[in-house]
A and B are shown apart, each in its own frame.
Chain A
Amino acid sequence: MAETRHAHPPYLLIWLYLFVLTVAEIALAFELPFSRNVKLILLLLLALWKAFLVAMFFMHLKFEKWNLRLIAIVPLPLALILVLAVITEHVW
């Protein structure tokens, strides 16, 4: 189905980003001398960055209209609420 045409994003560059970020994650987890909590935060940020790149460029969310993007975005706060709500059992 022909839709609005746009130049293809630099897919190989995104692949390179993902590869480098994965190597950085493994190095961070096993080689670098950071504390456990710093590693935890950095690893989560790197994973979210990679997931964001896949969603935006490979799944083309960057080029979609906002009302379609909303379908992908709406479950995210719900996911966060679910985890945070249940984890409160261990906090309080």
Chain B
Amino acid sequence: MAHATATVDVMRPPAPAERGVDVYNLKLGMWVFLASEVMFFTALIGSYIVLRFGASPNPWAQPGKVLSIQITAFNTFLLICSSVSMVKAYASIADGNVKLMKVWLLVTILCGATFVGIQVYEYTHLIHHGFQPSGFREGSELAELAAADPVKYGAATAGLYGSTFFTMTGFHGFHVTCGVISMTYVFIRALRGKYSQQDHRGIEVIGLYWHFVDLVWIILFTIVYLI
């Protein structure tokens, strides 16, 4: 037993615990998680940039040729709206308006779920027209278009384009799906009266995650769809 006591003494911190960044643990934990998420998406987006840069002189498909810009521009708008509704939910509960917070949370969930639905539609549409992770499917509409105009459709780099596109947007869509599921859980807790003006930590923390997912989409939309 004497040995155990000595070990505990050695493990005791040399100074008393500090207040640190002065925020509650849940929020600090979410920020640290988001920092790791930055590196996760850097790996994906960075690989895409390096592969695309390295594919030169073989051209990458020109913007708007393979992917539908109208649908994704609407999805971008939807995600921006959902970020505003999320922050309005937070502002409402911070002001003590529980009813309004529930309305804004519901709007956010609906926007997020619609985003995922549209992305599934986009994937189905793309695969139907012949764009898949391995490139243009042989005999498909896109394969014929690429054969007729290999520069505009990036025929030589279709495989890289397909795999990077589906990996990046797929992982982002997965994050949005996780966000919608988590927010539904938060919404159910809100209906049960778990959040108040004094304690609305869950709302702020799910909001941080949601805004981060919106932020990643802002970058993805520009580099994948517009450039």
Taking a contact as CB atoms under 8 Å apart, the answer to whether A79 and B31 are in contact is no
Q: Which residues from chain A contact B87 at a C-beta distance below 8 Å? A: 11, 57-58
Q: Which residues from chain B contact A40 at a C-beta distance below 8 Å? A: 227
Taking a contact as CB atoms under 8 Å apart, the answer to whether B222 and A87 are in contact is no
Provide the bound-state CA to CA distance between A91 and B77, in Å.
Answer: 37
Interface majority SS on B: helix, strand, loop or mixed?
helix
Q: Which residues from chain A contact B83 at a C-beta distance below 8 Å? A: 15, 54, 58
Provide the bound-state CA to CA distance between A89 and B226, in Å.
Answer: 25
The interface stretch among B49-57, B137-145, B167-175 is B49-57
Number of interface residues of B (CB under 8 A): 56
Q: Which residues from chain A contact B226 at a C-beta distance below 8 Å? A: 25-26, 28-29, 43
Q: Which residues from chain A contact B24 at a C-beta distance below 8 Å? A: 1
Q: Which residues from chain B contact A47 at a C-beta distance below 8 Å? A: 218-219, 221-223
Q: Which residues from chain B contact A30 at a C-beta distance below 8 Å? A: 63-64, 69
Cβ contact of B215, chosen from A12, A51, A71, A86, cutoff 8 A:
A51
Q: B148 contacts the other chain (Cβ, under 8 Å)? A: no
Q: A75 contacts the other chain (Cβ, under 8 Å)? A: yes
Taking a contact as CB atoms under 8 Å apart, the answer to whether B86 and A58 are in contact is yes
Q: Which residues from chain A contact B214 at a C-beta distance below 8 Å? A: 54, 58
Provide the bound-state CA to CA distance between A25 and B220, in Å.
Answer: 13
| B 190-221 binary contact with A (CB < 8 Å = 1; else 0) | 00000001111100000110011011001101
Residue of A8, A46, A57 contacting most chain B CB atoms (<10 Å) = A8
Q: B182 contacts the other chain (Cβ, under 8 Å)? A: no
Q: Which residues from chain B contact A1 at a C-beta distance below 8 Å? A: 24, 198-201
Q: What's the least CB distance linking A27 to chain B, in Å?
A: 10
Provide the bound-state CA to CA distance between A58 and B227, in Å.
Answer: 26
Taking a contact as CB atoms under 8 Å apart, the answer to whether A46 and B222 are in contact is yes
Taking a contact as CB atoms under 8 Å apart, the answer to whether B227 and A2 are in contact is no
Q: A38 contacts the other chain (Cβ, under 8 Å)? A: no
Taking a contact as CB atoms under 8 Å apart, the answer to whether A86 and B80 are in contact is no
Q: What's the least CB distance linking B2 to chain A, in Å?
A: 41
Q: Which residues from chain A contact B80 at a C-beta distance below 8 Å? A: 15, 18-19, 22
Taking a contact as CB atoms under 8 Å apart, the answer to whether B22 and A87 are in contact is no
Residues on B close to A: CB < 8 A? 20-24, 28, 31-32, 34-36, 38-39, 42-43, 45-46, 49-50, 53-54, 56, 63-64, 69, 73, 76-77, 80-81, 83-84, 86-88, 91, 94-95, 197-201, 207-208, 211-212, 214-215, 218-219, 221-223, 226-227
19 residue pairs A–B, Cβ–Cβ below 8 Å: A2-B199, A8-B94, A12-B84, A15-B80, A15-B83, A19-B77, A26-B69, A44-B223, A47-B219, A47-B222, A58-B83, A58-B84, A58-B211, A59-B212, A68-B21, A68-B31, A75-B38, A82-B39, A87-B49
Closest 3 CB pairs of A and B: A47-B222, A79-B42, A75-B38
